[in-house]
Structure 1
Amino acid sequence: MEYRDLADRLEDFAALIIKQYSNMPDSYAGQYLAQQLIRSSCSAALNYGEALGAGTSRDRLNKLRIVLKELRECLRNLNIQFKSSLLQTDGAKPVQKENDELIRIVVTLIKNSK
């Protein structure tokens, strides 16, 4: 996989999250989790862009670790929303699947960078 393809996937993932919450939930918990999910998904995409422009391999590896941290936060957030019925099964499963695939890709990049 080329690095540009992953950048596009991360951007698409963040956009998918933003679209999912175009209408903010009414509950406090729903709003809190939705806002945090939007921040962490966008952070993953933005930090990957930083990783692409990193000056050193150490800096690149550090940015990839941040991307991984943000993606894992997204996954936990989605799981909480799914388990608390803030997200419907049909809406959550494709997003969770893409999130899981992105985590696996970034883990592989980190392992191969060492």
Structure 2
Amino acid sequence: MKDSLIYNKAFKFSIKVVNLYKYLCNEKKEIILSKQLLRSGTSIGANVKEGLFAQSKRDFLSKMNIVLKESSEAMYWLELLTATNYIDINTSKTILSECEELSKILVSIVKTTRQNLKND
């Protein structure tokens, strides 16, 4: 997996989400919203890894669409945690920026894969 840009970025993002979750639970005593972020944020990398071992291009496309939805959901929870002052603006900008970058890469992967399926 060392040569997969999307996997490496998703894995690093997952680590940040886990650390943010621990901070929110321990320091802010916030459990519910942060658990939602933990689930969606770590699901990105897990589904990317699964997609890299897809049985077909269609299976790969399906997994990448799931990953795109999970990144969108993670973005929502990050925005909500920021709006409710659980996450400070500097932390929010950094992690939201990474989530947005993942989403842009995923959109490109989905578009390219769809195009390749049409051309086959």
| TM-score, scaled to structure 1 | 0.91
Q: Which runs of 5+ in 2 are unaligned?
A: 115-120
Instruction: Give the alignment's Cα RMSD to 1 decimal.
Output: 1.4
What are the residue-to-residue correspondences of 1:1-114 with 2, within 5 Å?
4-23=4-23, 24=25, 25-26=28-29, 30-114=30-114
Structure 2 distance, partners of 1:22, 1:98, is 19
Structure 1 segments of 4+ aligned residues over 3 angstroms from their partners = none
The amino acid of 2:53's aligned partner reads G
Q: Structure 1: 5+ residue runs without aligned partners?
A: none
Report how many aligned residue pairs link the two structures: 110
CA distance in 2, matches of 1:31, 1:50: 28
Cα distance in 2 for residues equivalent to 1:3 and 1:63: 19
Identity of aligned residues (%): 27
Task: Find the structure with the greater CA-based Rg.
Answer: 2
Cα deviation for residue 14 of structure 1 reads 0.6
Measured after TM superposition, the shift of residue 21 of structure 1 is 2.3
Q: CA deviation at 1:91?
A: 1.2
